[in-house]
Structure 1
């Protein structure tokens, strides 16, 4: 082998090693910010709901994406106050915080009360203030990374929401949707939140409303590869099922392409493909 070839090969190996080292450093930084928030959630008497390691789940399916870990946590009183004003805001409950890497830096982003207020018109300033105070309580111990609220410019009523009408009541609609989702081999079922049942524990009557949580590590990883910030709200995927005036369920879920455009100013083909797949899957489950 010539000296030139050896030199170029050495450079290539060093470049790969440097890239791997950089990725490992970013993963460590993301893990650290995630763990700090997780501990502070506990210290602030907030209720952990779900954590998802987007990148590691995707890697297990052979899909590469930047480090990304989201956590959902809750305050029952704040949740219930918001749902009493507008049950559709359940699509954006509970609190969400994303630790992720982008452009060589570790970042933390969260969903602020202003996003809920614009997307699901909420009028109580005190309720929104309580929402922000409680989510910000989870950041008290963060030192190296300053959490940033997600952008809300251009967000208006029902922004990025896809709505379907079910032929069935909430309980049967939930059963049908859960069967359709878990029948897909590339999908993980994370769980569900029964908002009505939770509200009853503090003696508040609420209409039937449930939030279903699931995700596909491989298709989700592809969709997030160049758009990691959408791991905050588009993934895991969420379905809000609540009772309409006629007793039949209304189903809401996120428009992935629209959320990508909110975060990055543009979307990509995988986002549109997932929107189409999800819409067809849900519509078939609740209309047949």
Structure 2
């Protein structure tokens, strides 16, 4: 009985699987990442970093499929979210992974609901909606023909 209770508790305490959105891109990883950066900057965001995962792996004589993480944000949009719950700083600025996929290139990101799970941020609120809209629009621009 105690083991069953512990197992049930352990399963319910585990975080839910991340909800991610993946979109195919007709462009190379590098071009898709460049297009994402241009779209983000055009929307007023600042690029915090571009993390070349594949190059990092190669630097230690390991291999990864082509992948680059683009980290970007806008303090005007992110600060109100962090004012609601400072722990949002764990997931802000926003991140989009541009990567090789089975059939070419793709972009992947987490939804606002998933990003802020367990925080005191309303997943149906205005801030979450703005983030989801921004991520959707910027990734759409990156993968557009």
**TM-score, scaled to structure 2:** 0.81
Q: Which of 201, 204, 208 is the matching residue for 2:59?
A: 201
CA distance in 2, matches of 1:271, 1:220: 10
1:163 equivalent in structure 2:
22
Runs of 4+ displaced beyond 4 Å? none
1:176 equivalent in structure 2:
35
1:242 equivalent in structure 2:
99
CA distance in 1, matches of 2:34, 2:121: 36
Provide the aligned length of Structure 1 versus Structure 2: 132
C-alpha change, 1:251 and 1:193, in structure 2 (3 Å) is: same
C-alpha change, 1:258 and 1:205, in structure 2 (3 Å) is: closer
Secondary structure of the 2:116 match is: helix
Structure 2 residue 112 is matched with structure 1 residue 256: yes
CA distance in 2, matches of 1:254, 1:153: 18
Structure having greater relative contact order (Cα 8 Å, sep ≥ 6): 2
Residues 56-90 of structure 1: CA distance to partner in whole angstroms, max 9, x if unpaired?
A: xxxxxxxxxxxxxxxxxxxxxxxxxxxxxxxxxxx
C-alpha change, 1:196 and 1:269, in structure 2 (3 Å) is: same
Residues 226-246 of structure 1: CA distance to partner in whole angstroms, max 9, x if unpaired?
A: 12212102x011111110112
**TM-score, scaled to structure 1:** 0.43
CA distance in 2, matches of 1:282, 1:201: 29
Secondary structure of the 1:261 match is: coil
CA contact 2:22–2:107 (8 Å) conserved in 1: yes
1:67 equivalent in structure 2:
none
C-alpha change, 1:174 and 1:219, in structure 2 (3 Å) is: same
CA contact 2:20–2:109 (8 Å) conserved in 1: yes
CA contact 2:84–2:121 (8 Å) conserved in 1: no
Higher-Rg member (1/2): 1
Gap regions ≥5 residues in structure 2: 1-12
Gap regions ≥5 residues in structure 1: 1-151
